[in-house]
Amino acid sequence: IFSKLPDTQASIFSIMSECAAKENAINLSQGFPDFDCDPKLISFVNQYMTAGNNQYAPMAGLLSLRETIAEKVNFLYQKPINPDLEITITAGGTQAIFTTIAAVIQTGDEVIIFEPAYDSYRPTIELFGGKVVAVKLKSPEFKIDWEEVKSLFSERTKLMIINNPNNPSGKCLTKEDVLKLEDLVEQSNCLILSDEVYEHLVFDGRKHLSLLSSTRLAHRTFVIASFGKLIHATGWKIGYVIAPTELMIEFRKVHQFLVFSVNTPIQYAINDYLKDRNVYLQLNDFFQKKRDFLLEGLSGSRLKAIVPEGTYFLLADYSDLSEEKELTFAKRITSEYKVATIPVSAFYKDSLDQQVVRLCFAKKQETLEKAIENLIRIK
Ligand code: GLN
C-alpha cells in the first residue's frame, strides 16, 4: 500500500457539507448558491440537447463560446485575446488549476502560494513533485509582505499562484500589489497562475484587477475563470483558462488526455446566455446586497465580521465567544445552532488557528435570515 498524498484528507468542503446535512443545519459552508440558475439557461440547454448537440465538443471548447469569452475579456479588461489559440473551456476552475499545474510543474520545481490558500493547490503541486513555498497572510488584514515574497523567490520558483479575489479572505489585490508582482518576476522565467474565479464578485464600486490587463504579466500568466460562479450553477462544472499561445499549447497537451473536452449542450447554452452583458454586469450588486444583509445581521451577534472586498464569502472572528479550535467550533455551531461554516485553518498547511470561520452568503434571503437568527443566539 502506498499513497502519493499521505497528508491529504477529504476536503473540508465535503466534511462540512456532510456535517450540515447530518445535523439538518443551514449550510453556509461549501461555496454554492441555494437558489437555482435562470430558467432561461435551462431552456437553452434543453433546446440544444433536443436539437441533437450531444456529441463531443472540439477539444478546446466550442469556438463560438470562446469568441464570446474573448469579447467579454476585451470589453472588461481591454485585452484582445485570440479565441482559437488562447482560450480553452474546462470542466470547472479546479480542473483548469490541476491541468495548469500538471503541464508546468516537474520534480523539484518550487511554487509560491499565499495562505490562506484554496485547498486544491498544495496537493496538486505535490502530486507532480513540486515543492510548495507558502507565504502566510494573517487575519484580519491578509496583507502581502512583498519583502517576504522576494526573500523566498529564486530561480527555482517555476510558478506563483495568485487568487484574486481571494477565497476565503475576500481580499482583492491592489494596484500596488500588482506593481510589486510585476517588478518581482520581471527578470525571471517564473509563470503565474491567476485564479480569478470570483472576478465578477467585487464590492463597493471596486474594479476587478485582472492580470490580463497587466501588459507586463499577461505573457507569463494562466488566468482561470469559472462559469459556476457566474451563472449560479456550480454543479455544471464548467470554466475556462486563458493563456498565451505557447503556454496554451502545453496546457492542451494535458487537457486532451484528462477530459478531452467538456459538456457540449451546456457550452452552447452558456454562449447564448452571455450575449446579454447584464448577466455579469449585475452580479456585483446582486451579491453585495447579500453581503450587506449578512454583515448587518451579524452586527447584532458576538461574531466580529471582516468585511469582504470580493467573493461570496465572509469571515467571522469568534474569539469573543470561545477559545475552541476552529474545526471544533464549526462542528459545535453546526450541531447546536444549526449553521455550518468552514474553519479557516483548513486553508493553511499547519492549521494556523485564528478563531475565524468562513460563511458563504450566496444564499436566498430567507436562508440568510434564518442563519442570522441562529447566529445571534450563540453565547
Ligand atoms: N470553491 C468552493 C468553496 O470554496 C468549493 C469547491 C469544492 O467544494 N470543491 O467552498
pTM of the predicted protein model: 0.97
Instruction: Check pocket membership of 165 for ligand 1, CB cut-off 6 A.
Output: no
Q: What's the average model confidence in pLDDT over 139-160?
A: 97
pLDDT at 156: 97
Residue 379 reports pLDDT greater than 90: no
Q: What's the average model confidence in pLDDT over 116-138?
A: 97
Q: What's the average model confidence in pLDDT over 337-348?
A: 97
Instruction: Check pocket membership of 31 for ligand 1, CB cut-off 6 A.
Output: yes
Secondary element (H or E) of residue 279? helix 278-281
Q: Which of 197, 231, 196 is nearest to 217 (CA)?
A: 196
Q: Which of 19, 27, 29, 32 to mutate to test the pocket of ligand 1 (most atoms within 8 A of CB)?
A: 32
Atom of ligand 1 nearest to the CA of 168: 4
Tell me the pLDDT tens digit for each residue of 235-255: 999 999 999 999 999 999 999
Q: What's the average model confidence in pLDDT over 104-113?
A: 98
Tell me the pLDDT tens digit for each residue of 59-106: 999 999 999 999 999 999 999 999 999 999 999 999 999 999 999 999
Give the full edge-to-edge strand order of the sheet including 304-306: 304-306, 313-317, 356-360, 342-343
Q: Which of 13, 229, 344 to mutate to test the pocket of ligand 1 (most atoms within 8 A of CB)?
A: 13
Residue 153 reports pLDDT greater than 90: yes
pLDDT band of residue 351 (cuts 50, 70, 90) is: confident
Nearest protein CA to atom 2 of ligand 1, as residue:
31
Domains and CATH numbers, the chain: 12-30+282-376 (3.90.1150.10), 39-276 (3.40.640.10)
Atom of ligand 1 nearest to the CA of 120: 9
Average pLDDT, the chain: 97
Q: Which residues contact 281 (CB under 8 A, 6 or more apart)?
A: none
Tell me the pLDDT tens digit for each residue of 10-63: 999 999 999 999 999 999 999 999 999 999 999 999 999 999 999 999 999 999
Instruction: Check pocket membership of 280 for ligand 1, CB cut-off 6 A.
Output: no
pLDDT at 28: 98
Residue 44 CA to residue 40 CA, distance in Å, equals 6
Q: What's the average model confidence in pLDDT over 321-336?
A: 97
Tell me the pLDDT tens digit for each residue of 273-288: 999 999 999 999 999 9
Half-sphere exposure (Cβ direction) of 156: Cα atoms closer than 13 Å: 12
Residue 203 CA to residue 264 CA, distance in Å, equals 33
**Phi, psi at residue 73, to the nearest 5°?**
-65, -40
pLDDT band of residue 1 (cuts 50, 70, 90) is: confident
